[in-house]
Structure 1
Amino acid sequence: MSQHGDGLFNTKIPILHRCFASSPSKPHASIFSTDTVRLSKVLSLHTENLVISRREAERMIRSGDVTLAGNVLTSPMMMLKEEDLNDGALKVNGKVVNLRSSKGPRSVAGEENSVHKTRVWIAHKLPGEIVADNDPYDRPSLLQRLIRGGVGKVGKTRLHLKSVGRLDMNTEGLILVTNDGKYAREMELPSNKLHRTYRVRVHGLLTDHKLARIRKGVTVEGIRYPPMRIIPESTRQSQSTNKWLKVTCTEGKNRQIRNVFKYLGLTVTRLIRISYGDYRLQTIPPGMAIEVPAKHIENQKHRGRLIRPTKPAPKRSDEAESSKAVQWVRH
């Protein structure tokens, strides 16, 4: 049973070994960009020695594993002020949680084997795999396969891995995996407009009118899908009803490309993501993953608006003369 008076708990060794990495206690920089921050967000985003997802943070809070100044906290939605977290007041299973600055991802320039720096892997997802780490149907999991292969293991410490976005079960290609939940969420934000590029094989009659609609954006069953850049891989005229395209979007709505093409009477028969922001799949073999340097979002070039508005062509001199207002002449 937990001892509520002094905030100490019977330690749960498997959880501590999974979640905590050794880190010296030190004063923390401000993590508050607003007046208050939600408790689950503090635990999943702003800690030096606790590497867990938002969902796991919520589970631990509801289980009574989290205390603040000796009081058990059971609501993940509890809002905290900066002064509430001074002097090691926040603990998980009786262990002090060290806080860090929230500005930017964890330092990329650090000790190579540090568990605190942002680490990123590019994985080549296989068709038929799911990306979620927990599946009630026991389907093949990309994250579980990578973990079994040693991805995220630093010495005796195993990092908590999180995917950047998702791909549906039948989609293949590039998935980014990181140990930094805050970095993953920033990469996913539609407001950052990171470009996601796919190779798409479609079956059906592909017309210029349909291409124009995709480039302008469409609304399907009340969901607005913004403009996407679309380029046929072959410029030759062909009567084939199977064509390969390159499609780039700046959002990751669920089944976005499949839904848009289906709405226009086309069937996506293969979908492969080949890039995400400045990360490229290149020649990574299917099923493999390689660690790459973390790229700060503000420095990535493949972001921003896909289709920039074109300036109207300047009028010719004769058109300018004809557009002048009529001058009435008095006799």
Structure 2
Amino acid sequence: MAEDAPDSERGERIAKWLARAGVASRRDAERLIAEGRVKLNGKPVEQPATFVGAEDLVQVDDRAVHEPERTRLFRYHKPAGLMTTHRDPEGRPTVFERLPPGLPRLISVGRLDLNSEGLLLLTNDGALSRRLELPSQGWVRRYRVRVFGPVDDRALKALAKGVTVEGVRYAPIEAGLDSRKGDNSWLTVALHEGKNREVRRVMTFLGLQVSRLIRVAYGPFQLGTLPEGAVEEVNPKVLREQLGLAAPVRRRG
């Protein structure tokens, strides 16, 4: 049995349980535990190795956490001007404040920065979120990028070999010119890693100013015609097929 696999007698490690319940990623759940914000049956949890059973009561910040439901994934068309976070210390509006009512507690698969827009995947399963973020998943993040400045086709093609910007090494990037009107151009850019502000930093390195950044695909999931601000659940069958699962995703209660 794997170290953190569910056990019929002991239950499941609480950090993983919280991740599957959509509270946070497993890493962030461990941080919540370390901060003393998690209780099990009324007592503070002191070790991430604590196990949760079917009859146990789990609380975060003194609020009960419902047992994990089935894994769900949603496509969301993020508008520009929203932070991809549950709380912003500067009081800026967030994605999760603007979601339509009636959705379960969700966390994002990766992030889009304040001024970026387009496809953002949301899930109620922290473990799935972490899995889909890993570069080893091999999923391409594809963007439409409007830039201001002279576009050098050779410089764009050279990105396919990877590039180092201010000491940060970026993996090969596919970039091509779609259209040009005066000093403004539209590019298609595809990444495999999706490091923090990668597109903007690489474009700046090329002497280009980004005026719009729209993510149109994350792996097999497309933005398509989803209206700005709208959320649409991925069909469970499609989710199973794309993740290579042979049976419906079931979660222990």
Same structural fold, with TM-score higher than 0.5 when normalized by the shorter chain: yes
CA, structure 1 residues 218+88, in 2 after alignment: closer, same or farther (shift >3 Å)? Answer: same
CA RMSD of aligned residues (A): 3.5
Q: What does residue 159 of structure 2 align with?
A: 214
Distance 2:53 2:199 in 1: 50
- Residue pair 2:13, 2:52 contacting (<8 A) in 1 also: no
Alignment of 1:181-200 (within 5 A): 181-200=126-145
Between Structure 1 and Structure 2, whose CA radius of gyration is higher? Answer: 1
Distance 2:153 2:142 in 1: 20
Which of residues 41, 46, 66 in structure 1 aligns to 2:39?
66
Deviation readout 1:270-313 (Å, 9 max, x if unpaired): 1100111111111111111112224245449xxxxxxxxxxxxx
Distance 2:91 2:147 in 1: 30
Structure 2 spans left out of the alignment, 5+ residues: 6-11, 246-253
Which of residues 73, 80, 83 in structure 2 aligns to 1:130?
83
Distance 2:30 2:226 in 1: 33
For the pair 1:223 / 2:172, whether they are aligned, the reply is no
Q: What does residue 113 of structure 2 align with?
A: 168
For the pair 1:261 / 2:195, whether they are aligned, the reply is no
Deviation readout 1:169-219 (Å, 9 max, x if unpaired): 010111111111111111111111211110011111111321122221110
CA, structure 1 residues 89+72, in 2 after alignment: closer, same or farther (shift >3 Å)? Answer: farther
For the pair 1:275 / 2:248, whether they are aligned, the reply is no
Aligned-partner residue type, residue 32 of structure 1? D
- Higher strand proportion (structure 1 or 2): 2
CA, structure 1 residues 73+288, in 2 after alignment: closer, same or farther (shift >3 Å)? Answer: closer
Give the match's secondary structure for 2:187. Answer: strand
Give the deviation of 1:240 after TM superposition. 2.5
When normalised by structure 2's length, the TM-score is: 0.78
For the pair 1:203 / 2:148, whether they are aligned, the reply is yes
Structure 1 spans left out of the alignment, 5+ residues: 1-28, 100-114, 153-158, 301-331
CA, structure 1 residues 98+259, in 2 after alignment: closer, same or farther (shift >3 Å)? Answer: closer
Q: What does residue 304 of structure 1 align with?
A: none
- Residue pair 1:198, 1:248 contacting (<8 A) in 2 also: yes
Distance 1:126 1:98 in 2: 30
Q: What does residue 249 of structure 2 align with?
A: none
- Residue pair 1:217, 1:225 contacting (<8 A) in 2 also: yes
Alignment of 1:27-106 (within 5 A): 32=4, 41-45=15-19, 50-54=21-25, 55=28, 58-59=31-32, 62-63=35-36, 65-67=38-40, 72-75=44-47, 78=48, 80=49, 85=51, 92=58
For the pair 1:150 / 2:95, whether they are aligned, the reply is no
Alignment of 1:4-23 (within 5 A): none
Distance 2:53 2:85 in 1: 37
Higher relative contact order (CA 8 A, sep 6+): 2
Deviation readout 1:64-84 (Å, 9 max, x if unpaired): 64359x975324xx4x3xxx7
Aligned residues: 233
Which stretch shows the higher mean deviation, 259-268 or 239-248?
239-248
Give the deviation of 1:136 after TM superposition. 1.2
CA, structure 1 residues 205+151, in 2 after alignment: closer, same or farther (shift >3 Å)? Answer: farther
Q: What does residue 119 of structure 1 align with?
A: 72
Q: Percent identity?
A: 36
Aligned-partner residue type, residue 35 of structure 2? R
Give the deviation of 1:221 after TM superposition. 1.3
- Residue pair 1:43, 1:57 contacting (<8 A) in 2 also: no
Q: What does residue 180 of structure 1 align with?
A: 125
